[in-house]
Amino acid sequence: MGLPEKVPPRPGYEVTIHKIYERALLLFPEIEIVSRTKKGIVKSNYRMEAERMQALANALEALGVGKLDRVATLDWNTHWHYEAYYAVPMMGAVLHPVNIRLAPAEIVYVMSQAEDKVVITNSDFLPLVQAVAPKVKTLEHIIVVDTDSVPDKVAGIPVHHYEDLLKQYWGKYDWPLVDEDQPAAMGYTSGTTGLPKGTYHSHKMITLHALSGALHLNTFSKHVSLKTNDTILQLVPMFHVYSWGLPYIAALIGLRQIYPGKLDPGVIIDLVKKENVKFMAGVPTILYMILSHPKAAETDFKGVTYVNGGSALPRGLAELAAKKGMTVFVGYGMTETAPILTLAAPPAHLPVTEENYFDYALRTGWPIPLVDLRVVDPEGNPVPKDGKTMGEIVVRAPWVTPEYYMNPEKTEAAWRDGWFHTGDIAVWYEDGSIVIVDRDKDVIKSGGEWISSVRLEDAISRHPGVAQVAVIAAYHPKWQERPVAIVVPKPGWEDKITTEEIRRFLMENYVEKGVIPKWWLPDKVVLVESLPTTSVGKINKRALRDKFSKILVEEEQ
Amino acid sequence: MGLPEKVPPRPGYEVTIHKIYERALLLFPEIEIVSRTKKGIVKSNYRMEAERMQALANALEALGVGKLDRVATLDWNTHWHYEAYYAVPMMGAVLHPVNIRLAPAEIVYVMSQAEDKVVITNSDFLPLVQAVAPKVKTLEHIIVVDTDSVPDKVAGIPVHHYEDLLKQYWGKYDWPLVDEDQPAAMGYTSGTTGLPKGTYHSHKMITLHALSGALHLNTFSKHVSLKTNDTILQLVPMFHVYSWGLPYIAALIGLRQIYPGKLDPGVIIDLVKKENVKFMAGVPTILYMILSHPKAAETDFKGVTYVNGGSALPRGLAELAAKKGMTVFVGYGMTETAPILTLAAPPAHLPVTEENYFDYALRTGWPIPLVDLRVVDPEGNPVPKDGKTMGEIVVRAPWVTPEYYMNPEKTEAAWRDGWFHTGDIAVWYEDGSIVIVDRDKDVIKSGGEWISSVRLEDAISRHPGVAQVAVIAAYHPKWQERPVAIVVPKPGWEDKITTEEIRRFLMENYVEKGVIPKWWLPDKVVLVESLPTTSVGKINKRALRDKFSKILVEEEQ
């Protein structure tokens, strides 16, 4: 008797993905879920999806999937993928969406470390599965979602057809009561430096992340208001950080969902028009692909909100999107944080106007509920909120992975003094927002002072002849490092973009206005036809550094 | 190594009230918090309140308040009360808002059972404190918030002045890391049947409740959209179920908050006009007091949303509110559930029009996120979603109190088969909404069939001459129970409201239209000048039953 130190949990009263599922089934049974497959559009709804999820759980159980067993997925954004997102964790197993853009050797590495027992794959990735399966010793079953004929076995492992399994195991499944702290899903970082690192997140983490993200989206800014039955186009690859949690956020709000299948900018534009899409999220590369597609010319994107994540959104691209009618703003997060930490939807309480909109919307953002975030100096002390002093972003939030899986060394390096260290360098503003100025390793250290490659990229992207730009640190005998800009020119500008022209543009528009210091001007501009990207569509700065970091010294020789 | 069965918690990463506080301080420092005191309006903001909360924590610590110690409050809706709502749980102690409307003996009972160590009181309740303090053996300190001169001691217990303490202990307070499952607050049921029952809720419960309630409010209906810096008038008494969680919801969204002090309908109307209030919540009695106040005649309530809870909202009152420009809908919950379970803001995905608005808004509502709710028969099986079959509401939600404090018998009676039994009788609709037709003990059992007193009250309330109505079960020799309506007539209608007139009105408007069966017609209508209310402003049906339950038999004699 007496007040306990800890409230004892009552099974079933806890925060699990089941709660999102049960409520969606009760309140939104007829709201549509639309999926684009090779055979055309599949129309479904929350009720039908719930039935399919139950059949999937029956089937996986029959294949021997039990508590904490890992089920991998290799698929585009489809209703099949959506079904796995719910059924696997709700039956007490662990979802492991595998990044299809990793190298085969990396896929073998992550699937082996995760000890995946079953893989659910799109037929597009069957060749990949055939290549990796023999090396993933734990793999017991392969399920192919979108084809009528599948091989009997791959490397001795039985192969099943998804729809056949669903027919065979159709019927009610009694979801077990799962502890809210039980792992629900695993994700690997994209490994821009070294091998991918494993993270995992519990039911509680994933559910709270969805709740908080959805709340912030809808109350912090006058520029976004999603209501039940509004349409989301699920654009963020589902093999990438749980599609930023949007498949859970969507069901929580009761959004109508469009799964566009294999990514195709022309198809996306068609779907936006036809399906009355109100919300999308993605990396800048995708936004650029959409806006530069021929069909975009005759398309009005009014009423569409696009949240940009993954990399900084160049101002030039943001302004192009705005000109096409989109509401665009930035979001920030990482695999470790499931992922959302901040959103830059311009706040309702600040003096946002049409003119200064992007002064807010292009910040890295304001923390969403339950995220406790600081920008700190190397000693861990918060830096002044002056918009100038750089520091590292550290966070505490209920959805930060507890560790790097099987990697105590990296775990110890990231969790220090009670905070998770993101490795992102930012400045902090009086209004509580942050702006990332660089990744720890992307910062340019010139003569002992820091230069932000992100800010330089942002400025250069506003030159009318620049399509894409990346600024990297090149070795310099005197200053140690100096900025070099790698630029993809717009068609017709190939001859006009030069080091002198870019320096002139920056002088006139930034240096003379006091926005950036003169010593930040890049030493050199290099023209290329395209920029290399990583497996998640970010610009691959490591590859650029490998290629161009000696360019200033080579020229002097 | 390997995937753990449970994600190990990292202290500071958990879901505690600190997260609401920290984010409000970072993002909303200058947003106003306005409090009405005896000496006039006090203007403050989130930053200043955070400083005052730290000083309060310093002071309480100096007075010996430690982990899990209970701090009681006896106050109106003031900024002082708001400060205790945060400072007490965030320092690791437990907030216990005491219902000032309980009888003194009941207050002695709840404060003794809770073992309150300190009480923070408004000077209005100093006489009450003087009466109960000698009997509450655990009480060590009394703090008075709103007066300059306080007695040295009451019953040998030292008395302090709140503002003096804050001055004396002004300065930074380092909030400890508190486990999310640690109890944060206690509340007692209003005890309409028997002694008040104790409930308690952890940091996680209170924070999740706020998150979920705020999300549902802002995404489920086109009729409500609260944004950061919108104004809430905190009308729900803070001594009643944590003011329905609204002081936490407000800080989560960054709402501008008005604390109106001692309840006065005229003052409320003045504040609504002057402060651009967008949101209020309360019991129907308060809504009635506001709308029937002389000042209401010349007031436009357009843009104000009022969420009705505590008792059913009679359609007549709802329509009056709508006529005055308010957006009104129903919410439902109880002390045990911290309290919100459902809200009836008309859903964005259903065909809501101006004409049928109240067909949705007067339901008991749709479950908010994370609430798993069923309407079940006595065997625990869900009843059909046909809007007709009655059953009991049972719930599982992350914010249901784990038990009745020190009351294993009542605990066992309420938690059965993994569900909390609310004792409320409802019907269930295909769209996932529920409508309460009665409290378990208010249902009228006539000849073995159930009659819903709530539905009869709703119908009778629409008679133009009826100001207020309660329908109770009266003993009947043949049918066991028959309905009797206790009516407060509107001025000028005293002679016209009769049993015949009410039966005629119901026949014409409900029975002949097939809305209610003829055998539901009340056997008798009794006129009274006013209806007795309970300590939380609900109509006291127990008192009415005590007085009128024999009326049909007495008349026959």
DSSP codes of every residue in B84-121 = HHHHHHHTT-EEEE--TTS-HHHHHHHHHHHTEEEEEE
pLDDT tens, position by position, B178-191: 999 999 999 998 75
Comparing CA positions, the residue from A474, A466, A130 lying closest to residue A314 is A466
For residue B431, the chain A residues in CB contact (below 8 A) are 27
Q: Which amino acid is at A457?
A: E
A179 interface with B at CB cutoff 8 Å: yes
Beta-sheet strand order (sheet of A231-233)? A40-45, A32-37, A256-259, A231-233, A277-282, A305-308, A327-333, A340-343, A366-367
Measured CA to CA, the distance from residue A297 to residue B457 in angstroms comes to: 61
Longest dimension (CA), chain B: 82
A394 interface with B at CB cutoff 8 Å: no
Q: Tell me what the pLDDT averaged over chain A comes to.
A: 93
- Does residue B263 sit within a domain? no
Residues facing B420 on adjacent strands: B395, B415
pLDDT at A187 over 90: yes
- Does residue B292 sit within a domain? no
Give mean pLDDT, residues A184-203: 86
Q: Of A372-376, A382-386, A436-440, where does mean pLDDT reach its minimum?
A: A436-440
Q: Where residue B8 falls among pLDDT bands split at 50, 70, 90? A: confident
For chain B, the distance separating the N- and C-terminal CA atoms, rounded to the nearest angstrom, is: 82
For residue A208, the chain B residues in CB contact (below 8 A) are 15, 208, 211
Residue ranges of alpha helices (H) inside A254-295 are 265-274, 284-291
Cross-chain Cβ contact B396/A13 below 8 Å:
yes
Q: Of A232-241, B102-111, B167-176, where does mean pLDDT reach its minimum?
A: B102-111
Cross-chain Cβ contact A208/B3 below 8 Å:
no
Residue A215 backbone dihedrals phi, psi, to 5 degrees: -65, -50
Neighbours of B404 (CB within 10 A): 21
pLDDT at A495 over 90: yes
For residue A94, the chain B residues in CB contact (below 8 A) are 3
Tell me the CATH number at B88.
3.40.50.12780
Q: Which of B3, B18, B405 has the CB atom closest to A200's CB atom? A: B3
For residue B50, the chain A residues in CB contact (below 8 A) are none
Position B139 scores a pLDDT of 98
Residues 214-243, chain B: which have Cβ within 8 Å of A?
A: 214-215, 218-222, 225-230
Cross-chain Cβ contact A227/B220 below 8 Å:
yes
Q: Of A193-202, A391-400, A529-538, B213-222, where does mean pLDDT reach its minimum?
A: A529-538
In chain B, which residue's Cα lies nearest the Cα of A396?
Answer: B13
Comparing CA positions, the residue from B320, B347, B501 lying closest to residue B430 is B347
A94 interface with B at CB cutoff 8 Å: yes
In chain B, which residue's Cα lies nearest the Cα of A204?
Answer: B7
B183 interface with A at CB cutoff 8 Å: yes
DSSP A417-467: TTEEEEEEEEEE-TTS-EEEEEETTT-EEETTEEE-HHHHHHHHTTSTTEE
Measured CA to CA, the distance from residue B366 to residue B385 in angstroms comes to: 13
Nearest-CA distance B519 → chain A (Å) = 34
Cross-chain Cβ contact B227/A229 below 8 Å:
no
- Does residue A333 sit within a domain? no
Residues 414-473, chain B: which have Cβ within 8 Å of A?
A: 415, 418-419, 431-432
- Does residue B474 sit within a domain? yes
Position A7 scores a pLDDT of 93
- Does residue B455 sit within a domain? yes
Comparing CA positions, the residue from A436, A524, A514, A517 lying closest to residue A481 is A524
Alpha-carbon separation of residue B335 from A57, B87, B110, B183, B187 (angstroms): 37, 22, 14, 15, 7
Q: How many domains does one find in chain B?
A: 2
Residues facing A175 on adjacent strands: none
Comparing CA positions, the residue from A280, A283, A267 lying closest to residue A230 is A280
Give mean pLDDT, residues B39-68: 98
End position of a domain, from candidates A197, A221, A243: A197
Measured CA to CA, the distance from residue B366 to residue B341 in angstroms comes to: 8
For residue A12, the chain B residues in CB contact (below 8 A) are 372, 396, 418-419
Measured CA to CA, the distance from residue A101 to residue B329 in angstroms comes to: 50
pLDDT tens, position by position, A132-148: 999 999 999 999 999 87
Q: Where residue A195 falls among pLDDT bands split at 50, 70, 90? A: confident
In chain B, which residue's Cα lies nearest the Cα of A181?
Answer: B6
H/E element holding B341? Answer: strand B340-343
In chain A, which residue's Cα lies nearest the Cα of B186?
Answer: A3
Neighbours of B25 (CB within 10 A): 17
pLDDT tens, position by position, B332-351: 999 999 999 999 999 999 99
| Catalytic (active-site) positions of B | 189, 336, 445, 450
Position B477 scores a pLDDT of 79
Cross-chain Cβ contact B218/A218 below 8 Å:
yes
Cross-chain Cβ contact A402/B227 below 8 Å:
no
Helix (H, G, I), strand (E, B) or coil at B125: helix
Cross-chain Cβ contact B369/A254 below 8 Å:
no
Position B446 scores a pLDDT of 79
Nearest-CA distance A365 → chain B (Å) = 11
Measured CA to CA, the distance from residue B245 to residue B209 in angstroms comes to: 7
Position B438 scores a pLDDT of 75
B94 interface with A at CB cutoff 8 Å: yes
For residue A15, the chain B residues in CB contact (below 8 A) are 208, 370, 398
Position B534 scores a pLDDT of 76
Give mean pLDDT, residues A306-331: 93
Helices B453-460 and B499-506: angle between axes, nearest 10 degrees: 100
Helix (H, G, I), strand (E, B) or coil at A536: coil
End position of a domain, from candidates B158, B183, B201: B201
Q: Where residue B448 falls among pLDDT bands split at 50, 70, 90? A: low
Q: Where residue B310 falls among pLDDT bands split at 50, 70, 90? A: confident
Give mean pLDDT, residues A106-122: 96
Residues facing A439 on adjacent strands: A424
Q: Which of A202, A254, A415 has the CB atom closest to B7's CB atom? A: A202
pLDDT at A322 over 60: yes
For residue B351, the chain A residues in CB contact (below 8 A) are none
Alpha-carbon separation of residue B318 from A456, B309, B328, B363, B367 (angstroms): 59, 12, 7, 12, 21
Radius of gyration of chain A (CA): 24
Measured CA to CA, the distance from residue B231 to residue B488 in angstroms comes to: 35
Q: Where residue B197 falls among pLDDT bands split at 50, 70, 90? A: very high
pLDDT at B193 over 60: no
Report strand pairing: A524-527 vs A449-451.
Answer: unpaired
Give mean pLDDT, residues A505-509: 94
Comparing CA positions, the residue from A551, A537, A540, A539 lying closest to residue A100 is A537
In chain B, which residue's Cα lies nearest the Cα of A368?
Answer: B23
pLDDT at A553 over 90: no
Position A191 scores a pLDDT of 57
Residues 12-51, chain A: which have Cβ within 8 Å of B?
A: 12-15, 18-20, 22-23, 26-29, 31
In chain A, which residue's Cα lies nearest the Cα of B1?
Answer: A406
Cross-chain Cβ contact A3/B200 below 8 Å:
yes
Burial class (CB in 10 A: 0-12, 13-18, 19+), A203: buried
Measured CA to CA, the distance from residue B209 to residue B15 in angstroms comes to: 11
Q: Where residue B117 falls among pLDDT bands split at 50, 70, 90? A: very high
In chain B, which residue's Cα lies nearest the Cα of A395?
Answer: B13
More confident residue, B102 or B468: B468
Q: Of A214-228, B151-165, B477-491, where does mean pLDDT reach its minimum?
A: B477-491
Position A541 scores a pLDDT of 86
Tell me the CATH number at B518.
3.30.300.30
Comparing CA positions, the residue from B5, B29, B41, B526 lying closest to residue B275 is B41
For residue B181, the chain A residues in CB contact (below 8 A) are 6-7, 9
Is A488 within 8 Å of A528 (Cβ atoms)? yes
Q: Which of A219, A370, A419 has the CB atom closest to B19's CB atom? A: A370
Position B405 scores a pLDDT of 96
- Does residue A350 sit within a domain? no
Is A347 within 8 Å of A221 (Cβ atoms)? yes
Q: Which amino acid is at A246?
A: L
Is A128 within 8 Å of A107 (Cβ atoms)? yes
Comparing CA positions, the residue from A277, A185, A274, A286 lying closest to residue A236 is A286
Whether the predicted interface score ipTM is above 0.85: yes
Cross-chain Cβ contact B182/A254 below 8 Å:
no
Report strand pairing: B372-376 vs B391-396.
Answer: antiparallel
pLDDT tens, position by position, B491-519: 999 999 999 999 999 999 998 887 788 88
In sequence order, what are the residues at sequence separation of 6 or more whose Cβ sits closer than 8 angstroms to the Cβ of residue A450? A390, A425, A437, A438, A443, A444
Q: Where residue A310 falls among pLDDT bands split at 50, 70, 90? A: confident
**How many residues can be counted in chain A?**
557
Measured CA to CA, the distance from residue A473 to residue A552 in angstroms comes to: 10
Cross-chain Cβ contact B181/A7 below 8 Å:
yes
Position A345 scores a pLDDT of 98
Measured CA to CA, the distance from residue A242 to residue A295 in angstroms comes to: 29
Supply angle C-alpha B516, B363, B218, rounded to 5: 165
DSSP B368: P
Cross-chain Cβ contact A8/B367 below 8 Å:
no
Q: In chain A, helix, strand, coil percent, each to 5?
A: 35, 25, 40
DSSP B143: E
Q: Which of A177, A186, A349 has the CB atom closest to B229's CB atom? A: A349
Q: Which of B2, B200, B369 has the CB atom closest to A252's CB atom? A: B369
Position B191 scores a pLDDT of 57
A514-527 burial by CB neighbour count: b if 16+ within 10 A, else e?
eebeeebbbbbbbe
- Does residue A253 sit within a domain? no
Measured CA to CA, the distance from residue B242 to residue B263 in angstroms comes to: 17
pLDDT tens, position by position, B387-428: 999 899 999 999 999 999 999 999 999 999 999 999 999 999
In sequence order, what are the residues at sequence separation of 6 or more whose Cβ sits closer than 8 angstroms to the Cβ of residue A515? A459, A509
Measured CA to CA, the distance from residue B399 to residue A479 in angstroms comes to: 59
In chain B, which residue's Cα lies nearest the Cα of A433?
Answer: B27
Position B458 scores a pLDDT of 87
Nearest-CA distance B555 → chain A (Å) = 49
Cross-chain Cβ contact A6/B211 below 8 Å:
no
- Does residue B217 sit within a domain? no
A206 interface with B at CB cutoff 8 Å: no
Cis amide prior to A339 (ω within 30 degrees): yes
Measured CA to CA, the distance from residue A528 to residue B172 in angstroms comes to: 55
Give mean pLDDT, residues A14-22: 98
By residue range, what is the domain housing residue B468? 444-556
End position of a domain, from candidates A130, A165, A197: A197
For residue B219, the chain A residues in CB contact (below 8 A) are 214, 218, 226-228, 253-254
Tokens of B386: 């046909």
Residue A358: CA atoms inside 13 Å, Cβ hemisphere, count? 17
Nearest-CA distance A94 → chain B (Å) = 10
For residue B405, the chain A residues in CB contact (below 8 A) are 3
Helices A46-62 and A79-90: angle between axes, nearest 10 degrees: 60
A4 interface with B at CB cutoff 8 Å: yes
| Catalytic (active-site) positions of A | 189, 336, 445, 450
In a mutational test of the B interface, the residue from A372, A404, A406, A410 whose CB has the highest number of chain B CBs within 10 Å is A372
Give pTM, 2 decimals.
0.88
How many CB pairs below 8 A link A and B?
212
DSSP A366: E
